[in-house]
Structure 1
């Protein structure tokens, strides 16, 4: 019998349950949800995060210094790297340290520890913000001086694919859409704070595309990609059936904050100029803030993404409709006191 927490593919593909799993970023939004899912299947789940959580077998560490946590990963057959810089305001040096050198460190730890499968959590940000509608896994990754987060994600994929190509370890890359649901700081808590303050601003009338994927659907896609043999050496987009406009998605936060109408807007060029000035001021003051031009670019994405490959090879099917996902999200915001 297939356990309730194990996804089925369209043709009955069922990923084997790993005996042991190691997760980096195990206390983060995605890492924590993944840890709970594998634990519910009876797996020995261990992990690493910036802060230790002994109650859940998570040790303290970071990708740049694997000496302090590599022994904790020994003997785990599946290694999943969810740890990353979750920021659109980091320096090139920091992105290089974590997204390139740090990912290589993870591969080395996984190989030395005897893992047989490595899964890298990337992002559709690797495509940049200007790509054709229904972009698939063969589309170009972004390069250049803009959209640093996406450039770094693309670089991390190169490291992983090189290791797979060299026969070091079997690897798979998952590019999630915009992951939301209970526990999401990036797409629930932070936009709600901005809406409450009246600072939620969308470029060009909010016409940019948002690619929501509910956390439970992402976990299904990750588990299929981590377990099925047809996923080896592949990149998969995991998202919902369809994209929506940023205005459609973030108007929910605007209304939850008690405001009428839609979030405020500026032309993209003006939004980039203003956020660029604010970013430089914050850098000069030594103050970290996510108000950057790259945020405006992210909110101006030109199309949705295709999940046809994940459907075809993995049998992946998103189950949680946007309306239901937002209902659950609003309930969580209320339960945690973020909504009155």
Structure 2
């Protein structure tokens, strides 16, 4: 039976990847000191204390590993690019250094569809070149991580596969959906372009299916795959599903995209001049999320991996919101 190393196992995607891995083999999960590892321990994962900035811990974690599923990352749409680069790019480099010379069979790097240019997309596939510069530090670091991963494959024949999910939703999301629900509750969600454009929804279970197809397919080595639910979901449908599922008011107001873009740039500049540690309500990243058509082809994943999304948006969002409702923090 294979031995898996999961990074980011205490997080949203990583916990689901670990849960799927334990039925396939032995699971080691890298976890920072003080992290809540209760769930990982309950499913039988072995905890390796440390993080991506700790080369010694990574060397311990790398011993005897067959497959790495790398989910850990510093996320967010605000902050200095160097902060994201240090953790995400530097951490990935440390992990590759620790694994070099081992009998690794597959390294699955979980990237993001955010690596593509911040523009409208209509069926964009993996042949699209990635821009060198991006609108936020997180996305910039993800592009640099992809470059590093593919260089590792070419230079050292490390069996790397990259998967690029879109907006990930599902049970155990403790950050994004609860935050969006809070904004709906406060009536601070405003549509851009009436919410008519596509969102690249990716149910976490579908993503995990794709991750393990990528981990197990010989044809996946050295390849990159877009991963979504393969279903058109407008921004309006997305927000109304959350509102209706949690009994919150639906958004009504809307501003045009031509206004949202300069407004976001202006607010970002103001907040940076004032050295605000938190982002404004509207950023260029939030405009991309809420205002651009984000439709990406998953034909390559279907053809090469045999990926076939099993959970549709309505069912996936129902499961996600049931979890959010049951796990609301105490007032």
Report the TM-score, using the length of structure 1 for normalisation.
0.86
Structure 1: stretches of 5+ with no match in the other structure: 1-17
CA contact (8 A) 1:46 1:73 kept: no
Matches within 5 A, 1:94-133: 94-133=83-122
Partner of 1:288: 278
Change (3 A) 1:263 1:149: farther
**Which of these residues, 4, 9, 21, is aligned with residue 4 of structure 2?**
21
CA contact (8 A) 2:191 2:251 kept: no
Partner of 1:231: 220
Partner of 2:27: 45
**Which of these residues, 229, 234, 240, is aligned with residue 240 of structure 1?**
229
Matches within 5 A, 1:170-189: 170-189=159-178
Partner of 2:199: 210
Partner of 2:302: 311
Mean CA deviation greater in 227-236 or 257-266: 257-266
Partner of 1:301: 292
Mean CA deviation greater in 24-33 or 191-200: 191-200
Mean CA deviation greater in 81-90 or 280-289: 280-289
Structure 2: stretches of 5+ with no match in the other structure: none
Structure 2 SS opposite 1:172: strand
CA contact (8 A) 1:224 1:314 kept: yes
CA contact (8 A) 1:74 1:113 kept: yes
* Offset, 1:190: 1.5
CA contact (8 A) 1:142 1:150 kept: no
* Offset, 1:68: 3.3
Structure 1 SS opposite 2:124: coil
Change (3 A) 1:153 1:335: same
Partner of 2:127: 138
Change (3 A) 1:263 1:87: farther
CA contact (8 A) 2:184 2:249 kept: no
CA contact (8 A) 2:58 2:94 kept: no
Partner of 1:9: none
What is the CA deviation profile of residues 159-218 of structure 1, one whole-angstrom value per residue up to 9, with x for unaligned ones? 001111113411100111211111124542111111111122332222332111211111
**Which of these residues, 310, 330, 337, is aligned with residue 321 of structure 2?**
330
Change (3 A) 1:171 1:332: same
Q: Give the Cα–Cα distance (whole angstroms) in 2 for the partners of residues 239 and 191 of structure 1.
A: 20
* Offset, 1:250: 1.2
- The RMSD of aligned alpha carbons is 2.5
| Corresponding residue pairs, total | 322
Q: Give the Cα–Cα distance (whole angstroms) in 2 for the partners of residues 38 and 144 of structure 1.
A: 35
What is the CA deviation profile of residues 282-302 of structure 1, one whole-angstrom value per residue up to 9, with x for unaligned ones? 553553347432221232233
